[in-house]
């Protein structure tokens, strides 16, 4: 029985008990009728008590479930659980990053991206890009690529895009699963962002040949799709185009 059914039943029992009490004390009823009605009242009182107990148990179960959910949130997000509310309003975008607002959203490669390099066999890949903000004067990004057939994870990177206030100068800070951390800088003009590596750091056991320079170009084309072209130079190869991919937006 649901809580609503319990409440309705309890309400009906209360009304019946009130009617029976009035009937019992009516001067027209004989003793046997009064006794019979008193038994019915006692029976209904017992039913009402049982219904109240059910409601109490249901309330207790709801409280326990809520406590479990709260505990799960605390375990999963021990620090954020007390700061973030599911019902809170989305953060307002900082005006500093407004020139890059055309990059916001979740994007999927369409068609698959194309990769090439003198030391590599040509290849294709799927990629999901998520670019967002939390109200700070920067954008957050993640790039996750997958093999088009096996869906096996491939290249992954994440970081931040910052704009120098009151200018079109942009800094792109990226950490990659290849062991590279880089800072690229450049300019945004309209719906086009061109950046080049300013500094590159790598783990001590990074695979050779080492990447020495990277350039990227992002643009929003006339179809509303995001394009990215990546070129790089290594210790053995000059600056050469490495990747080109077009994304369609799937969420704002």
Question: Tens-of-pLDDT digits for all 252 residues of the chain?
Answer: 554 554 445 556 556 556 655 655 554 556 676 677 777 777 877 787 877 778 777 777 878 887 777 676 666 555 655 555 555 678 999 999 999 999 999 999 999 999 999 999 999 999 999 999 999 999 999 999 999 999 999 999 999 999 999 999 999 999 999 999 999 999 999 999 999 999 999 999 999 999 999 999 999 999 999 999 999 999 999 999 999 999 999 998
Same domain, 141 and 23: no
Same domain, 114 and 235: yes
The CATH number of the domain holding residue 160 is 2.40.128.20
What is the full DSSP assignment across the chain? --HHHHHHHHHHHHHHHHHHHHHHT-TT--HHHHHHHHHHHHHHHHHHHHHHHHHHHHHHHHHHHHHHHHHHHHHHSTTTTTT--TTSPPPPPPGGGGGGGGG-EEEEESS-EEEEETTEEEEEEEEEEEEE--SSSEEEEEEEEE-TTT--EEEEEEEEEEE-TTS-EEEEEEEETTSEEEEEEEEEETTEEEEEEEEEEE-TTPPSSPEEEEEEEEEE-TTS-EEEEEEEEESSS-SEEEEEEEEEEEE-
Same domain, 37 and 136: no
Same domain, 62 and 100: no
Domain that holds residue 29: 16-77
Q: What is the pLDDT of residue 239?
A: 98
Whether 65 is in a domain gets the answer yes
pTM here is: 0.67
From the list 183, 197, 115, 204, the residue with the least C-alpha distance to 155 is 115
- Tally of structural domains, the chain: 2
Q: What is the pLDDT of residue 188?
A: 98
Same domain, 129 and 236: yes
Same domain, 72 and 143: no
Same domain, 236 and 199: yes
């Amino acid at each position: 029985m649901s809580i609503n059914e319990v409440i309705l039943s309890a309400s009906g029992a209360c009304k019946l008990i009130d009617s029976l009490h009035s009937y019992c004390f009516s001067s027209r009823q004989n003793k046997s009728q009064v006794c019979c009605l008193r038994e019915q009242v006692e029976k209904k009182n017992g039913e009402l008590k049982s219904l109240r107990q059910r409601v109490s148990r249901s309330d207790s179960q709801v409280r326990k479930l809520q406590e479990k959910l709260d505990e799960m949130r605390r375990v999963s997000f021990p620090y954020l659980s007390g700061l973030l509310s599911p019902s809170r309003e989305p953060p307002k975008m900082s005006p500093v990053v407004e020139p890059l607002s055309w990059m916001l959203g979740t994007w999927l490669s369409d068609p698959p991206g194309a990769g090439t390099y003198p030391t590599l066999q040509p290849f294709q890949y799927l990629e999901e890009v998520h670019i967002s903000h939390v109200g700070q004067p920067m954008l957050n990004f993640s790039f996750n690529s997958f093999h088009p057939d096996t869906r096996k994870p491939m290249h992954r990177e994440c970081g931040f895009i910052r704009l120098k206030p009151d200018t079109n100068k942009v800094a792109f800070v990226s950490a990659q699963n290849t062991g590279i951390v880089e800072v690229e800088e450049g300019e945004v003009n309209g719906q086009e962002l061109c950046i080049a590596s300013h500094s590159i750091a790598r783990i001590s056991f990074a695979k050779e040949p080492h990447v020495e320079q990277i350039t990227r170009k992002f643009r929003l084309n006339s179809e509303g799709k995001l394009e990215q072209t990546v070129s790089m130079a290594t210790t053995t190869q000059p600056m050469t185009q490495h990747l080109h991919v077009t994304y369609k937006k799937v969420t704002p």
